[in-house]
C-alpha cells in the first residue's frame, strides 16, 4: 500500500498544471503591423521590423504573408485537445520599386467556418466499363507479375 501511495505521489508531482502555450510564427504580429505605413514603408523596413515572411509570392507585385498562431492545452479535463488562442495573418503587397502598396490583417474572428457536404458519392461504373477492365488488368498484373498463375500444367 505504501508503495502504491508513493508511486501515485511521484506521478502526480511530475504533472504540471500550468498552461502550455505553443507559438508558431511571428510574435506580436498585430502590434508590429500597426507600425507599417502604406506608400511609405519599403521592403527593407518590413524585414527589419517583422523579419522574413512565412510565405512569399510574386506575380505582378510581391506578396508577403506573415502568420502568428497560438494554441494551448491547459486543462486536464480536455484530455490533450488544444484550444486556439490566436490565429493572425498579415498579407502585404509590395510594388516593383519595393514600396508597401497595401496591407490586410486577419485575426481569429475573421476566419470562416467551412461546412462540408455530408452526402456520399456513389460508385458509377459497371463490370463492363473501361475503368473496371483497366483496374482488373492492373490487379492481375500486381497479383501475378510474371503470368505464371495463368499457365496450368
Give the Cα separation of 40 and 42 in Å (integer).
7
> How much is the pLDDT for 127?
58
Question: What pLDDT does residue 74 have?
Answer: 61
pLDDT for res 10:
65
CB 29 within 8 A of CB 79: no
The closest of 41, 58, 39, 38 to 49, measured between CA atoms, is 41
pLDDT at residue 130, as a whole number: 74
- List, in sequence order, the alpha helices (H) in the chain: 2-13, 29-34, 43-49, 130-143
With a cut of 50, which residues of the chain have pLDDT below it?
153
Structural domains of the chain in order of their starting residue, each with its CATH number: 25-110 (3.30.1450)
* pLDDT for the residue 149: 65
pLDDT given for residue 151 in this prediction: 60
Write down the pLDDT at residue 12. Answer: 58
At 42 the pLDDT is 92
Query: Which residue in 133, 55, 40 sits closest to 91, CA to CA?
Result: 55
What pLDDT, on a 0 to 100 scale, did the predictor assign at position 145?
72
Amino acid at each position: 500500500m505504501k508503495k502504491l501511495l508513493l508511486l501515485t505521489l511521484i506521478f502526480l508531482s511530475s504533472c504540471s498544471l500550468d498552461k502550455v502555450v505553443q507559438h508558431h510564427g511571428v510574435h506580436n504580429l498585430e502590434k508590429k503591423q500597426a507600425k507599417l505605413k502604406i506608400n511609405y514603408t519599403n521592403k527593407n523596413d518590413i524585414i527589419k521590423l517583422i523579419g522574413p515572411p512565412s510565405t512569399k509570392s510574386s506575380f505582378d507585385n510581391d506578396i508577403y504573408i506573415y502568420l502568428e498562431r497560438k494554441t494551448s492545452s491547459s486543462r486536464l479535463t480536455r484530455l490533450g485537445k488544444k484550444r486556439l488562442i490566436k490565429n493572425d495573418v498579415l498579407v502585404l503587397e509590395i510594388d516593383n520599386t519595393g514600396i508597401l502598396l497595401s496591407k490586410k490583417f486577419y485575426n481569429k474572428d475573421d476566419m470562416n467556418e467551412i461546412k462540408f457536404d455530408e452526402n456520399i458519392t456513389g460508385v458509377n461504373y459497371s463490370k463492363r466499363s473501361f475503368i473496371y477492365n483497366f483496374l482488373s488488368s492492373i490487379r492481375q498484373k500486381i497479383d501475378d507479375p510474371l503470368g505464371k498463375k495463368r499457365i496450368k500444367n
